[in-house]
Amino acid sequence: MSWSPGSRRRSRRRPASSWRRSPDSIRIRQRKSIGFGTIAHTAFKLYPKRTVLGLALFIGQAFLYNAVFFTQALVLSTFFGVADDLVPLYIIPFALGNLLGPLLLGRLFDSVGRRPMITLCYVLSGGLLIGTGLLFNAQVLSATTLTACWVVVFLFASAGASAAYLTGKLVETEKEINVFYGYLIGAVLMIAAGIAEWFIGVEAAGKSLEDVARPLTADEAEGAGAPA
């Protein structure tokens, strides 16, 4: 088949009406902006279950992560007498645990499935934190073994947003049982979020974002029914 610069120019000028549309293509309607009303309609009208699930996962994650991370230095210094200049040495393995989790488990979210893996990670990390809290309350842990427990917990748990006020106040009471209650709250919320993921989560392994939810700019998005 011969080719010339002229044929290239002609192909570029081919009218859009002659283009063949792929079965998997999406027609996009350009918008100047997407307002809060559209976002609220999408979240609470089209995908109410996904909105509840997202909030549950975020809240559980936030309480679990911050129950430990933002009080780690207080716990180590108050209950184990760790000097302030040595606290960073205990934070390093904790940070490595957070790094290794996604590196070691990340591929399983596509091979095993998002829904079972998210459920497993949330429920397991919550259960492990309850176990850590029980051992801490029984005063059988040292600063090193407590840090090791935290590393294992956060190998499965993800990072969350800041919500450390409650547990920080409990540490100030200098009573192990009160700190355990703080851990218990975060763990229970994490487990509850994992259970919610199992029942109303969306399996998205190996799927494109457009398969999970149509873009707001898609022509068919407003008129077509969408799963909750």
Query: How confident is residue 22, by pLDDT bands cut at 50, 70 and 90?
Result: low
Reported as a single tens digit per residue, the pLDDT across 77-119 is 999 999 989 998 998 998 888 888 888 888 887 888 888 888 8
Task: Using a pLDDT cut of 90, give the percent of the chain over it.
Answer: 17
pLDDT at residue number 104? 85
Residue pair 179/151 in contact (Cβ under 8 Å)? The answer is: no
Question: Which one has a higher pLDDT value, 159 or 179?
Answer: 179
CA-based nearest residue to 47, from 218, 213, 220, 224: 213
Return the pLDDT at 162. Answer: 30
Q: What is the DSSP string of 74-131?
A: HHHHHHH---GGGHHHHHHHHHHHHHHHHHHHTTHHHHT-HHHHHHHHHHHHHHHHHH
Q: Is the pLDDT of residue 3 over 60?
A: no
Between 162 and 40, the higher pLDDT residue: 40
Query: In this predicted structure, what is the pLDDT of residue 86?
Result: 92
For the cut 60, the answer to whether the pLDDT of residue 125 exceeds it is yes
Mean pLDDT of the chain: 77
Residue 72, pLDDT > 50, answer yes
Q: Are 215 and 226 in contact (CB under 8 A)?
A: no
